Amino acid sequence: MKNILLIISTLIVNISFAQTEKSTNKTVAESFVKNYNSDNYEVIFSMFAEVMQKALPIDKTNEFLKGLKSQAGNISNREFLKYESETYASYKTTFERAVYTLNISIDDKSKINGLFIKPFVEEVPSENVINNLSAKNSFITEKQSEIIFNNSKVFPNQTQIAIAIITNGKVNYYGIKQNNDTISTSKNHESTFEIGSITKVFTSTLLSNFVKDKKIKLNDNINDYLNLSFNNGTKISFKTLANHTSGLPSLPSNLDLTKVNPENPYKEYKKQELVEYLTKYLIISQNSELKYEYSNLGAGLIGYTLSEIENISYDSLLRTKIFSKYNMLNSTTELTKVKGELVKGQDASGNEVSNWGFSVLAGAGGILSTVEDMSKFAISQFDCSNKELKLTRQKTFEINDNMSIGLGWHIIKSKSGSVLNCHNGGTGGYSSSMAIDMKSKNGIIILSNVSAFNPKMENIDKLCFELMETLKNK
C-alpha cells in the first residue's frame, strides 16, 4: 500500500533534458513557493494545466497543501538538483520541519502538469558498489544478473530482494543482499516481507470466491450486507470497489495522515472510525463508474464487508479460503503469526523501521508473505479451470489504451506486446512487484525491504518488467 500523502499527481509530457535549471522552470518554482508560503492555494491551482486541474480539483489541492503545511511548515530554501526522468525539474526543498524533494513538470505554456513531493534522501553512490553476483552454476543468465545488479545497486546497505522467476509454469528463486557496499546472492525465498498493495489481488480473490459460492453477486451493493445507513444514502457495489471506479478517495477523510504516527499510520484506524466515516462523512463523485480512481479505502472496505458477512477476521478469511487452498503456509496479516525469518523493513536511508499494521483496512495492504508462497499463488493462476482466479483476471474497466483492470489485477501491454496481469505494492519499509503472463505461463515476483519512500523505489517495478522481457523467448 503506497502512502499517497506526499504524492500529488504524476501527469507529465516530454520536455528536453538538461542539468541546468531553465528560466521557465525557475519562474514557476519561485511562484509555487511564494504562494505556498502565503497560503494562496487557489493561485497555485490556477497555475495547473487543465489536465492537472481535472485530476486534482481545487478541494483536493487545498486539502493536500494544507496538510503539507501542517506537517512540514513553510519553505525556507529551494535548491535545484537536476531534471528527473527527463520530465521534472527536481529541487531539494527545505521546510521548517522537514526536507523534501519537490519535482515540478510544466507544459509548453508554463502550466504545471506534474507535481511530486517526497522525502529528500541523499543518493547512494552506486559507482562504488561491488557486484558479487554470478550467473555461473545458476539458472539465471548473465543478462538477468546484470539487470538485477543495475537495478539494485542504488539501494542502501542491508537491502534484501527476493525474486521468483516463473518460466513455463516452473519456478526458480534468486535472492540478493547488499552488505558493506557489496551485492551478493542470498537464500531468502522463505523469508517474509510486507507485500503492500499486492494484497488487493488477494482481497479481490476472496470477493471472487464469495461470488463463485453464490453468497453475493458482483454487482450487489455492499450496503445490503452491512447494518449501516450510509451517508446521503450512497450505494457502492463490490465490483466498483474492486476495479477502483467507486468514486471513493484513496483514504477516508477521517484518517488524517498528518496527525498519526508516520511509522505506523494505519494501525489506529479501526472499525469504529470506518463506521463513522461511512455513516457521517462518506461522499463519492458523480458518474464515478466512468472514472478510474485508485482507492486503498475501496479495497479495505471489501475486506471489511466480507469479514462482516462471514463474521470472522480478514486474516481468517485469507487462511481458510486462499492460504490453505494454495498451500501458502507462511502468509498472514498478523505479525505475531509470521513463521521463520522476517526481513526488517528499511526507510529511504536504510534505517530499520517498524512494520505497518492495517487494522480494519487490512484488505488494502496488510499481507506479509514470501516469494515461495507468492509463486504458488501465481502458478495457480495458470490453471484455467480455476473459476475463482479466472474471474479476477477478466477485464471490468478500460483505463486507457494500454491498461485495463479486472478485479484487483491491472492488465497491461508489455513493451514486447504481451498481455500481463500485474500489481505492485509499497509500505514504509518495503516494496514489491508482481507480473504474470497467462499465455506463456511466465511470471516475476519481487519482494524487498526497499521503502516506498526511497527515491529509487521505482527500480523494483523496473526490475520486474525487465526480467519479464528476458523470459519472452524461453
Task: Look at strands 397-400 and 403-405 and give their pairing.
Answer: antiparallel
Q: Which of 261, 227, 221, 257 is nearest to 240 (CA)?
A: 221
The mean pLDDT value for 141-170 works out to: 96
What's the CATH number for 193-219+313-470? 3.40.710.10
For residue 1, pLDDT over 90 is answered with no
pLDDT at res. 217:
97
Measured in whole angstroms, the distance separating CA 227 from the mean position of its chain's CA atoms is 31
Residue 315's alpha-carbon distances to 146, 182, 271, in angstroms, are 38, 38, 15
Residue bearing cell 557486484: 131
Q: Residues 6 or more apart from 411 whose CB is under 8 A from it?
A: 393, 395, 403, 404, 405, 419, 420, 421, 422
Contact criterion met (CB below 8 Å) for 472 and 144: no
48 forms bridges with which residues in the sheet? 112
Is residue 216 within 8 Å of 237, Cβ to Cβ? Answer: no
Angstrom distance (rounded) from CA 18 to CA 380: 47
Question: Residue 3 pLDDT > 80, yes or no?
Answer: no
Burial degree of 248 (CB within 10 A; 0-12, 13-18, 19+): buried
Every domain of the chain with CATH number 3.40.710.10 lies at: 193-219+313-470
Least reliable range by pLDDT among 119-133, 238-252, 267-281, 352-366: 119-133
Q: Is the pLDDT of residue 17 over 50?
A: no
| 3-class secondary structure, 286 | coil
Looking at residue 434, its amino acid is M
Q: Evaluate if residue 376 carries a pLDDT over 50.
A: yes
pLDDT above 70 for 14: no
At residue 449, does pLDDT exceed 90? yes
Q: Give the pLDDT score at 174.
A: 96
Phi, psi of 53 (to 5 degrees): -65, -35
Question: Which pLDDT score, from 0 to 100, does residue 137 have?
Answer: 66
Q: Which residue type occupies 209? A: N
Query: Where in the chain are all domains bearing CATH 3.10.450.100?
Result: 23-119
How far apart, in whole angstroms, are the C-alpha atoms of residue 414 and residue 423? 14
Give the integer Cα–Cα distance in Å for 331 and 341.
12
| Residues 162-166, mean pLDDT to the nearest whole number | 98
Over residues 105-125, mean pLDDT: 85
| The pTM of the whole model exceeds 0.85 | no
- Judged against a pLDDT cut of 70, whether residue 10 lies above it is answered with no
The x, y and z cell numbers of residue 22, run together, are 531553465
Please compute the mean of the pLDDT values over residues 311-338 and round it to a whole number: 97
User: Which class is domain 23-119?
Assistant: alpha beta
Give the contacts of 197 (CB within 8 A, at least 6 positions apart): 1, 2, 296, 299, 364, 365, 423, 424, 425, 426
Q: Considering only CA atoms, which of 202, 133, 125 is closest in space to residue 161?
A: 133
Asked whether the predicted pLDDT for residue 456 surpasses 70, the reply is yes
Per-residue pLDDT, averaged over 9-18, amounts to: 29
Report the share of the chain in percent with pLDDT over 90. 76
pLDDT of residue 303: 98
| pLDDT of 163 | 98
High-pLDDT (> 70) share of the chain, %: 93
Distance CA 31, CA 18 (A): 21
pLDDT, the chain, mean: 90
Q: What is the pLDDT of residues 191-247, one digit of tens each?
A: 999 999 999 999 999 999 999 999 999 999 999 999 999 999 999 999 999 999 999
Angle at 379 between CA 196 and CA 133, to 5 degrees: 70
* 448, 162 contact by CB (below 8 A): yes
Residue 348 has pLDDT above 90, yes or no: no
Burial (CB < 10 A; 0-12, 13-18, 19+), residue 400, is exposed
**How sure is the predictor about 287, in pLDDT bands with cuts at 50, 70 and 90?**
low
Question: Averaged over 349-373, what is the pLDDT?
Answer: 96
Q: How far is CA 387 from the centre of its chain?
A: 27
Better-predicted residue by pLDDT, 139 or 312: 312
pLDDT the model gives residue 80: 93
By CB atoms closer than 10 A (0-12, 13-18, 19+), residue 232 is exposed
Overall average pLDDT of the 9-33 stretch: 66
Cα torsion through 203, 207, 208, 213, rounded to 10: 140
If one compares 29 and 453, the residue with the highest pLDDT of the two is 29
Query: How many CA atoms are closer than 13 Å to the CA of 225, on its beta-carbon side?
Result: 23
9 — pLDDT class (breaks 50, 70, 90): very low
Per-residue pLDDT at 246: 94
* First-to-final CA distance of the chain: 32
The pLDDT assigned to 430 comes to: 98
Give the pLDDT band (50/70/90) at residue 4. Answer: very low
Buried b (16+ CB within 10 A) or exposed e, 162-196: bbbbbbeeebebbbbbbeeeebebbebbbbbbbbb
